[in-house]
Amino acid sequence: MSSTAEHHHDDHHHGPAKGFMRWVTTTNHKDIGTMYLIFSLVMFMVGGFMALIVRAELFVPGLQLVDPHFFNQMTTMHALIMVFGAIMPGMVGFANWQVPLMIGAPDMALPRLNNWSFWILPFAFSLILSGLFFFGGGPASGWTLYAPLTLQGGIGVDLTIFAIHMMGISSIMGAINVIVTVFNMRAPGMTLMKMPLFVWTWVITAFLLIAVMPVFAGAVTMVLTDRHFGTAFFDPAGGGDPVLYQHIFWFFGHPEVYIMILPAFGIISQIIPTFSRKKLFGYESMVFATAGIAFLSFIVWAHHMFTVGMPLAGELYFMYATMLIAVPTGVKIFNWVSTMWRGSMTFETPMLYAIAVVFLFTIGGLSGLMLAIVPADFQYHDTYFVVAHFHYVLFSGAIMAMMGGVFYWLPKWTGHMYDERLGKWQFWLTTIFFNITFFPQHFLGLAGMPRRIPDYNLQFAEFNFMSSVGAMGLGITQLLFIYIIYKAVKGGEKATTEVWEGAEGLEWTVPSPAPYHTFETPPVVK
């Protein structure tokens, strides 16, 4: 072949890239959604393994397995990896897959940006994890990275700061992509108030991300300059204030917890109407409640800081503002229950998850209301009661909603039905072990056991034993979750448009890209 022919051949690759390069270079929202979800699952297992190290140390009183400093690195890394590696990328994976399908768009608005948003993440988490292997190890400050704890520590802390910047860039680009897609690429007739609730929760989440990720970036940058460049933002010796760090962190951190939970609300707002065979009750109030939660999330941050010695007026304000969030959240719970009320309910795996989320998330919400009461919080603060509270919000809120979402959409994603019997086993084992793990921690906290401590008084032995046994069971159960997904991807019965008996005309059967459609006529039910 002549050189000109070779050049001609090289310049025109026909068809998409194959194999590995397909995934590196893809701009397809489904491929990118799949990569986010797989990444999330891997990080979920890594973060879960770290939690098991923590629970293994706390299995019995005394110091046995690990050095206390390493124990603190594990609590910190577990949290950072679960929040920024498992929950957030997982939710972005759902957004990538479902938002274009739900609004009838051919893809995300900014497909190259979409690819970059994902590929930043494996490098960011390689940096965080590599910190464990360097002198001084990773951060050992809790996921909040409070100064002065982060003003000490080795290169692992710096790597973590750099990784947080990378994750922030990824999150902001992903959020911009969702907003541009939803505001510019809806199918004709798809008005904002006709969008599926999952899309609404993600639009609102995207605005939260754009608002608060730069705040977090600023906070860790100030830590970095305090560590290496002679500033004293958080160092009292130079006129700084460690409490300033807490204000900046929680101004990010409180909206952040809603960034994790709002898309989960969106997922179960899709699942519950499907298996109740009814439209979602109170659609508009759900949209406004979601927006209300997002707004309020910005003005309650210091409820994480009741014990720093703020003035009484500040404590009262933050107490009442925090309790106010219970109103829109209560509206959502009420609407989900009302949707199920007198519906033709069936209890496939996704619906079991959705009901469990409503029930267990409410427990987390009520313990949050307890924490909002200032004099009570003086007792609860930094005890295992707080650990129990946020795991009821994040595990049985965000993670279980994602598991329900995976079972709900797997037939659409893979074209194969998952194994319903195994799915139900995985649900019940997860739910039971979750409660065995975290419910006793409420009692430990009320009895005064502090968080982030590798040893404890003998009086706490029984509940810690239960908690650790539950955690081991919870971890092992997730191997079944991976097996079910693997099995569905590989094969299994073909999914039809009527995946679940009698649920024809469901939202998730919208083809991609959606045909030109006014969305006025109801789907024909056979």
Q: 300 and 258, same structural domain?
A: yes
Q: Which of 97, 250, 258, 283 is catalytic?
A: 258
Q: Which one from 29, 55, 227, 332 is the annotated catalytic residue?
A: 332
* Rg from Cα positions in the chain: 24
- Helix (H) / strand (E) element for 430: namely helix 420-446
According to DSSP, residue 494 is labeled: B
Residue with tokens 């949050």: 368
Shared-domain flag, residues 327 and 355: no
The answer to whether residues 321 and 365 belong to one domain is no
Is residue 7 annotated as part of the catalytic site, yes or no? no
Taking residue 116's Cβ as centre, other Cβ atoms within 10 Å add up to 13
Q: Exactly one of 40, 117, 170, 383 is catalytic; which is it?
A: 170
Quick check: 518 and 189 in contact, CB under 8 A? yes
One domain, residues 233 and 325? yes
Low pLDDT (below 70) residues in the chain? 1-16, 498-526
- Residue 425 falls inside a structural domain: yes
Q: Which of 181, 269, 274, 467 is catalytic?
A: 269
| Domain residue limits at 296 | 222-346
φ, ψ of residue 503 to 5 degrees: the values are -115, 40
Pick the catalytic residue from 29, 55, 78, 391: 78
Does one domain contain both 269 and 326? Answer: yes
Residue 16 has what pLDDT?
65
171 is catalytic: yes
Task: Classify residue 435: in a domain, yes or no.
Answer: yes
3-state helix, strand, coil in the chain (%, to 5): 75, 0, 25
Last residue of a domain, one of 301, 324, 346: 346
- Whether residue 426 lies inside any domain: the answer is yes
Look at residues 330, 346, 362 and tell me which one is the last residue of a structural domain: 346
416 phi and psi angles, rounded to 5 deg = -120, 145
Report which of 128, 115, 114 is spatially closest to residue 43, judged by C-alpha positions. Answer: 128
Same domain (yes/no): 356, 468: yes
For residues 323 and 387, membership in a common domain is answered with: no
| 300 shares a domain with 426 | no
* Active site annotation includes 13: no
Reduce the DSSP state of residue 382 to 3 states and report it: coil
**CA terminus-to-terminus distance, the chain:** 60
Residue 458 lies in a domain: yes
To the query of whether residue 329 is one of the catalytic residues in this protein, the response is yes
- Assess whether 254 carries a catalytic annotation: yes
Note if 304 is an active site residue.
yes
Active-site option among 29, 186, 304, 381: 304
Q: Looking at 171, 276, 414, 467, which residue is catalytic? A: 171
Give dist(CA 504, CA 524) in Å, integer: 8
Which of the residues 31, 158, 256, 377 is marked catalytic? 256
Q: Would 372 be classed as within a structural domain?
A: yes
Residue 10 is predicted with a pLDDT of: 44
Q: Tell me, what DSSP letter sits at residue 150? A: G
Identify the burial level of 312 via C-beta atoms within 10 angstroms of its C-beta, where 0-12 means exposed, 13-18 middle and 19 or more buried. exposed
Active-site entry in 186, 227, 254, 412: 254
pLDDT digits (tens, 9 = 90+) for 467-513: 999 999 999 999 999 999 999 999 878 887 766 665 544 554 444 44
Please say if 141 is a catalytic residue: no
CB 478 within 8 A of CB 406: no
Q: How many domains is the chain built from?
A: 2
Q: Is residue 335 part of a domain?
A: yes
Task: Considering the candidates 277, 278, 424, 451, report the single residue annotated as catalytic.
Answer: 451
**Does residue 228 share a domain with residue 323?**
yes
In degrees and rounded to multiples of 5, residue 383 shows phi and psi of: -110, 175
Active-site residue 170, yes or no? yes
CA distance 208 to 297: 9
Q: Which of 329, 339, 396, 437 is catalytic?
A: 329
Same domain, 483 and 395: yes
Grouping H, G, I as helix, E, B as strand and the rest as coil, residue 387 is helix
DSSP code of 499?
A: -
- Rounded CA gap, 428 and 439, in Å? 16
Domain boundary among 346, 370, 395: 346
Question: Mind spelling out the 3-state secondary structure of 275-305?
Answer: HHCCCCCCHHHHHHHHHHHHHHHHHCHHHHC
The reply to whether 85 falls in a domain is no
475 part of a folded domain: yes
CA–CA separation, 84 vs 87, rounded Å?
A: 6
Structure tokens at 510: 């919208």
Note if 258 is an active site residue: yes
Catalytic site residue from 143, 301, 384, 409? 143
Cα gap 5→415, rounded to integer Å: 41
Q: Is 452 a catalytic residue?
A: no
SS3 of residue 105 by DSSP: coil
Q: Is there a single domain that holds both residue 335 and residue 396?
A: no
Instruction: Tell me, yes or no, whether 387 and 458 share the same domain.
Output: yes
Quick one: pLDDT at residue 130? 92
